[in-house]
Amino acid sequence: MSVDSKFKLLAAFKHIGKKIDLSNFDARLVFQKQVYLLQELGLKLGYSYGWYRRGPYSSGAASDGFQLEPIQDDIKNLPELTQDELEAAETLQELILESGENFPDKDEAYCMELLGSLHFVLKHGYPRPASKEEALRRFQELKPKFGEDAEIALELLDQKNLI
């Protein structure tokens, strides 16, 4: 990933009032899924994602996150985001807030794993699901712990034009 893209990621996080936090496993999971969703929303970051046990994962995003985390407060001249990039960040922020409202008894790691993983199965699963119903069935086979929450997550993703 280019230096500009790395700082574009930081600019998007700052725009929505998020800090990069990689202090524990759940924080790293949240970071991975939020970066994945940001990229899927249109922020061109250049990360490649594959399926890992807890959903989409990018070693490039992890590496950049670890580089940025300790210096994020010291960086003053971040790249200016385009209107589309600002909207992508704001849509992620809405998705975070709405997932918390829809799953009030669940933590952020649960919500981001659910949304990121379901989206990955829908858009990048192989073979590509022929319908939302097939994707939902396949997702529930992969991740039965989410149960009926997957149907609510599917609606959230649909409302944000991610599917």
- pTM (two decimals): 0.93
pLDDT tens digits, residue range 79-123? 899 999 999 999 999 999 999 999 999 999 999 999 999 999 989
The mean-pLDDT minimum among 28-37, 65-74, 122-131 falls in 122-131
Q: Residue 3: which pLDDT band, with cuts at 50, 70 and 90?
A: low
Residue 77 has pLDDT above 90, yes or no: no
Q: Residue 64: which pLDDT band, with cuts at 50, 70 and 90?
A: very high
Which pLDDT score is estimated for 16? 93
ω into 129 cis (within 30 of 0): no
Residue 5 has pLDDT above 80, yes or no: yes
SS3 57: strand
- Please list the alpha-helical segments (H only) found in the chain: 3-15, 25-40, 59-68, 83-102, 108-124, 132-142, 149-159
pLDDT tens digits, residue range 32-55? 999 999 999 999 999 999 999 899
Q: What is the mean pLDDT of the chain?
A: 93
Q: Distance between CA 90 and CA 153 in Å, rounded?
A: 18
pLDDT tens digits, residue range 152-163? 999 999 999 998
Q: Residue 125: which pLDDT band, with cuts at 50, 70 and 90?
A: confident
The answer to whether 152 and 136 have CB atoms below 8 angstroms apart is: no
pLDDT tens digits, residue range 6-40? 899 999 999 999 999 999 999 999 999 999 999 99
